[in-house]
Copies of this chain bind each other. A is one copy, B any other.
Amino acid sequence: MQVQYWFELFGTAFFAVSGALSATEKARADWFGATFIGYITAIGGGSLRDVLLGNYPIAWIKDVNMIYAVFAGIVMAKVFYSYFIKLKKTFFLFDTLGIALFTVVGTAKAISLGVGNINAAIMGMFTAVFGGVIRDMLTNEIPVIFQKEIYATACFAGALLYLTLHSYGVNFDYNLAISGSIIIIIRVLAVRYDWQLPQFKKHE
């Protein structure tokens, strides 16, 4: 689980970067606001999962390293600001790594708490995407996940794959590698080829 743990901290840091950038671009936040929104983006999804499951103490209260990871992300966002804004691809890479890992970790935690399969997949997806949803609500945007290329859908698909492999006894490390990779591949292809889910109802 060592590798998973480090990835989780990395994911946390990069979600913090994403929140800080968003707060700055959309709400002209000061240092504090950027930190606050970065922090909520990073820990929002996992907090929601733990609160919904009654899994106390919740992740970042149990492990102060997650707070340090957030602060590391804020510092990175400041230092590499121009790079992150220009090199959208760099940023995209880390965001994608983040959601891939958060999905698998969140799904695995839900399973270990005895949650059924569908709900576990929902929890995995929540872990990955809800930090961003809260970020968008705080900066008064319609959450991008409802409008953009395949995003939460990739997480949900990855979570279902994880659960399938898990039911066949595939061990955690391999499962993380496979299911996480699928999420990354779907995301990359979706952005590369501008995949879209069909609109729920066509607008003329």
Consensus secondary structure, chain A interface: helix
The verdict on A72 contacting chain B, using a C-beta distance below 8 Å, is no
B-binding residues in A (CB < 8 A): 20, 23-24, 27-34, 36-37, 47, 51-54, 56-58, 60-61, 64, 67, 77-78, 81, 115-116, 118-119, 122, 133, 137-143, 145-147, 150, 152-153, 156, 196-201, 203
A-B contact pairs, 5 of them (CB 8 A): A23-B146, A24-B200, A54-B57, A60-B119, A61-B115
Q: Which residues of B contact A115 (CB under 8 A)?
A: 61
Closest to A138 in B: B143
Check A137 against B137 for contact (C-beta < 8 Å): yes
Q: Which residues of B contact A64 (CB under 8 A)?
A: 116, 118-119
